[in-house]
Amino acid sequence: MSKWNCTIDPKDSGLSIKEILRRDFSFSSRMMTKFKQNNCIKLNGEPVKLYIIPKPGDELDIELPDEKSSFPPENIPIIPVFEDGDLLIIDKPAGFVVHPTKGHPAHTIANGLARYIIDTGQNFKIRFINRLDMDTSGLLVIAKSAHCQEEISRQMKNGQVVKKYIAVVNGVVKDDSGAVDAPIGRPDPGSIARSVTEGGHQSTTFYEVLKRYDKGFSLLELRLKTGRTHQIRVHMSYIGHPVAGDSLYGGENVLLIERQALHAFYISFYHPITGKFTEVSADLPKDIKRLIAKIE
């Protein structure tokens, strides 16, 4: 069960419970409605209406009913890099789809999380805040409540969430840094491939060259302004530097690596409950490290 609590401060004098909750926790209207419907809010241990004006020293508690996901648990590797009562951030291995789809109904990260929840004695509904392609590794954020999901999603829309990736790309990138601002669409509904296309969704990717290799590769740090499907892969291919190992967008090289050399290594945001600025990072996986060793 997700829980929040606070002690009413003298500065809160004259404010209703609803006003305090909106100010301190940024709960959405939908979440406030859920609180009322489920009698989730208690003042000094007793259920209370949101219009009540509490006194300094009163204890305010909010408890959400337990929710569960229905994914069958499977022994899929789950590697936590950050966890508290509100969020779980894992380092997703390459080769796994995030959640079940028609083409991948099982053996997904969601199935692994269902097992992880059981093994750790927790009870929360799995709510993915971001997505990663099957063969992209790195940081995947899971909210343990609807409020946390809504709050970080709001931050994403407002540009407050920073996501950074590391990629090895084909070719020597000339400029030390730059941006690819080109619309991305799906020209063939029967194919998963995206492309830069007129009428597509506005998409911007920033890049910085970390290292150039004489063997014809570059190591890049990339940051997304938007979050379109396959965005980095499409944009890098568009400028003539497809991600190494990316067979869908022209970077295939099975002698070096068997998947796209793309890793989500960093994310920052403001914690949805504490408001604290939070940064999380993940080391490069072994296969990308081996690739770098081969091209150095």
| CA–CA–CA angle 125, 137, 235 (5° rounding) | 110
Side chain identity at 17, as an amino acid letter? I
Q: Is residue 146 very low, low, confident or very high in pLDDT (cuts 50, 70, 90)?
A: confident
**Helix, strand, coil content of the chain in percent (nearest 5):** 20, 30, 50
Q: Locate the DSSP E strands across 8-147.
A: 41-43, 46-47, 59-63, 80-83, 87-92, 127-128, 137-143
Query: What pLDDT shows up at residue 65?
Result: 65
Question: What residue segments make up the domains of the chain, in order of their start?
Answer: 3-63, 162-264+291-295
- Residue 10 is given by DSSP the state G
Q: May I ask the CATH architecture of the domain 3-63?
A: Roll (3.10)
pLDDT single digits (tens) 87-137: 999 999 999 999 998 888 999 999 999 999 999 999 899 999 999 999 999
Q: Is the pTM of this model over 0.95?
A: no
Contact 148, 273 (CB under 8 A): yes
Residue of 12, 86, 91, 133 marked active site: 133
Q: For 202-235, what is each residue's pLDDT tens digit?
A: 999 999 999 999 999 999 999 999 889 999 999 9
Q: Cα(80)–Cα(142) distance, rounded to whole angstroms?
A: 11
Do residues 107 and 26 make contact, with C-beta atoms less than 8 angstroms apart? no
Residue range 256-269: mean pLDDT, rounded: 96
pLDDT bracket for residue 172 (50, 70, 90) = very high
CB–CB of 293/281 below 8 Å?
Answer: no
Instruction: Answer yes or no: is pLDDT of 42 > 80.
Output: yes
Distance separating alpha carbons of residues 238 and 195, to the nearest angstrom: 8
Q: Distance between CA atoms of 129 and 153, rounded to whole angstroms?
A: 7
pLDDT for 66: 67
Superfamily of domain 162-264+291-295: Pseudouridine synthase (3.30.2350.10)
Q: Are strands 162-170 and 137-143 parallel, antiparallel or unpaired?
A: unpaired
User: Cα–Cα distance between 296 and 289 in angstroms, integer?
Assistant: 11
CA–CA distance from 150 to each of 155, 157, 243 (Å)? 9, 11, 32
- Catalytic-residue membership of 133: yes
Rounded CA separation 241/247 (Å): 13
